């Protein structure tokens, strides 16, 4: 495989000599998991966006010196979106594998529902971030109002 096609697994030749076996030790399992994380970062632009956004949120949280309980909500919001993107990528890969580039309404349904899940998670993240950061951002502009105080 040419190096630029390294991450395009769709066209990878089937290697029947390669064995599929259980991960024999912890470190091999860890290596495969890290490879999974690397693959999703390389292949999915949305995942890179979520990660960059996550870092921006981290910096904003440090800047505004969020309370410990706020950090918990922010972490839940960010990781929910990232998890849903993992699930979306798994479903896309499995659907492509099963239908092998042929059209099927159920394939479309599975992909659309998976990507709908990411959208719902992103809306959840937005709501959490709005609730947490609203007072800090408004104060930045001299407006001291906390909509969600009561």
Q: Pick out the residues of the known binding site.
A: 22, 44, 85, 92, 111-112, 115
Of the listed pieces 2-10, 14-22, 104-112, 136-144, which binds ligand ATP according to CB under 6 A?
Answer: 104-112
Of the listed pieces 20-28, 55-63, 69-77, 103-111, which binds ligand ATP according to CB under 6 A?
Answer: 103-111
CB neighbours of residue 66 within 10 Å? 19
Structure tokens at 122: 């992103």
**Nearest residue by C-beta to ligand ATP?**
108
Closest distance between ligand ATP and the C-beta of residue 38, in Å? Answer: 17
3-state helix, strand, coil in the chain (%, to 5): 75, 0, 25
Looking at the Cβ atoms of 70 and 92, the one nearer to ligand ATP is 92
Contact between 144 and 138 (Cβ < 8 Å): yes
Indicate which single residue of 111, 124, 134, 136 sits in contact with ligand ATP (rule: CB under 6 A). Answer: 111
Indicate which single residue of 26, 27, 103, 141 sits in contact with ligand ATP (rule: CB under 6 A). Answer: 103
Give the chain's largest Cα–Cα span.
67
Looking at the Cβ atoms of 16 and 103, the one nearer to ligand ATP is 103
Q: Which residue has the tokens 């709501």?
A: 127
Q: Which residue has the tokens 């580039």?
A: 101
Nearest-5° angle of CA 143, CA 147, CA 150? 130
Site residues (vs ligand ATP, CB under 6 A): 88, 92, 99, 103-104, 107-108, 111-112, 115
> Residues with catalytic annotation?
85
């Amino acid at each position: 495989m040419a190096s630029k096609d390294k991450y395009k697994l769709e066209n990878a030749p089937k290697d029947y000599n390669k064995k599929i076996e259980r991960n024999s030790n912890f470190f091999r399992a860890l290596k495969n998991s890290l490879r999974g994380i690397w693959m999703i970062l390389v292949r999915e632009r949305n995942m890179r966006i979520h990660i960059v956004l996550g870092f921006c949120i981290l910096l904003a949280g440090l800047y505004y010196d969020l309370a410990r309980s706020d950090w918990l909500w922010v972490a839940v919001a960010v990781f929910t979106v990232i998890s849903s993107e993992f699930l979306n990528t798994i479903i896309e890969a499995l659907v492509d594998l099963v239908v092998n580039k042929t059209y099927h309404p159920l394939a479309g349904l599975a992909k659309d529902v998976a990507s709908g899940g990411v959208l719902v998670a992103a809306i959840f993240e937005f709501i959490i971030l709005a609730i947490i950061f609203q007072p800090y951002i408004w104060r930045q502009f001299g407006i001291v109002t906390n909509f969600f105080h009561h």
